[in-house]
């Protein structure tokens, strides 16, 4: 079922990151008190890392029970372990290395120098392995092959890509598998691993983050009824909530009925 996107606009990307971190902290605490644990899918990119850096500030950091949090990734650049361009490396620097997570609950996507071999065939095996890890983490309350993540975060690329699902690329057309290898991505590096739209839509809440003028066209297109093959961000929605968090620059071209004044 498609949920109608809610749009919240903040003055600038710093304010957006702070507000997103506060929202995420609250959502994790709620999920942990309702079910004992929480699960969040992280995104790479500037806005995802900005949110993680905001979460590292004392108020948010000290509110969450990090040991009862499962972290997954929406996509990964298929590069060697520790490569500075890997999303997990950047997340570790921004937040993960400074909070007491349970390492068994940190589900990084495999690197290109790991058990599955390198580029390109290794990426297909690594994607299949991540799909199996997700499937193994599901319980009776999850109605499919991936957990019902509490919050799934997505950065929105200037071309409307989300995770590593690029416009008109094979990955965005996938309807069966939950995780795919992406070969020949238009943004470097060319080999990536990504959740698919069906896996993204298993999340309870999907939050899309976009800040900056270079995201304005993408946000406007995705929120104006574009098709998901041409605009993957348009196909990213959660089962109970889809939330777009923007700054004023990224919201500059939104249709009039979606343009809300900046949150105060
Ligand atoms: O390559 C990627 O890009 C997107 C968007 O990043 P941004 O820097 O333009 O916000 C990101 O969401 C994705 O995780 C990452 O692999």
The pLDDT tens digits of the residues spanning 18-29 come to 999 999 999 999
**Residue range 178-199: mean pLDDT, rounded:** 98
Q: What is the 3-state secondary structure (H, E, C) of 222-262?
A: HCCCCCCCCCHHHHCCCCCEEEEEEECCCCCCCCHHHCCCC
Domains recognised in the chain with CATH numbers = 6-151+163-229+236-246 (3.40.50.1360)
What three-state secondary structure class fits 209? strand
The pLDDT tens digits of the residues spanning 40-52 come to 999 999 999 999 9
Asked whether the predicted pLDDT for residue 257 surpasses 80, the reply is no
Does an H or E element contain 16, and which?
Answer: helix 13-35
Gap from CA of 75 to ligand 1 centroid (Å): 9
Q: Whose CA is nearest to atom 14 of ligand 1?
A: 44
Ligand 1 pocket check for 50: Cβ under 6 Å: no
Q: Whose CA is nearest to atom 1 of ligand 1?
A: 45
Q: Whose CA is nearest to atom 7 of ligand 1?
A: 45
CA 49/CA 170 separation, integer angstroms: 27
In terms of pTM, does the model score above 0.95? yes
* Orientation angle between helical segments 87-94 and 45-55, nearest 10 degrees: 30
CA 166, 194, 245, 201 torsion-angle sign: positive
pLDDT band at 1 (very low <50, low <70, confident <90, very high): low
Which atom of ligand 1 is least distant from the CA of 154? 12
Q: Whose CA is nearest to atom 16 of ligand 1?
A: 44
Q: What value of ipTM does the predicted structure carry?
A: 0.97
Q: What is the dihedral of CA 93, 47, 40, 18, to 10 degrees?
A: 90
């Amino acid at each position: 079922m498609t949920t109608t996107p809610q749009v919240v606009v903040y003055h600038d990307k710093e304010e957006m990151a702070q507000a997103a971190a506060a929202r995420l902290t609250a959502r994790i605490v709620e999920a942990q008190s309702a079910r004992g644990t929480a699960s969040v899918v992280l995104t790479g990119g500037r806005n995802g890392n900005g949110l993680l850096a905001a979460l590292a500030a004392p108020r948010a950091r000290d509110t969450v029970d990090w040991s009862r949090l499962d972290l997954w990734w929406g996509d990964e650049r298929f590069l060697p372990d520790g490569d500075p361009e890997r999303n997990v490396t950047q997340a570790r620097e921004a937040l993960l290395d400074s909070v007491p997570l349970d390492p068994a609950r940190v589900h990084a996507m495999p690197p290109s120098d790991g058990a599955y071999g390198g580029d390109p065939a290794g990426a297909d095996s690594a994607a299949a392995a991540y799909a199996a890890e997700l499937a193994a983490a599901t319980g009776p309350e999850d109605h499919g092959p991936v957990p019902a993540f509490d919050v799934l975060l997505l950065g929105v690329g200037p071309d409307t890509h989300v995770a590593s699902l690029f416009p008109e690329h094979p990955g965005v057309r996938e309807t069966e598998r939950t995780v795919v290898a992406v070969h020949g991505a238009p943004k470097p590096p060319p080999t990536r691993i990504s959740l698919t739209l069906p896996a993204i839509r298993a999340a309870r809440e999907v939050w899309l983050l976009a800040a900056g003028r270079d995201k304005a066209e993408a946000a406007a297109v995705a929120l104006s009824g574009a098709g998901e093959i041409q605009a993957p961000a348009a196909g990213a929605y959660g089962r109970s909530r889809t939330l777009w968090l923007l700054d004023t620059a990224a919201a500059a071209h939104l249709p009039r009925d979606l343009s809300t004044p900046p949150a105060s």
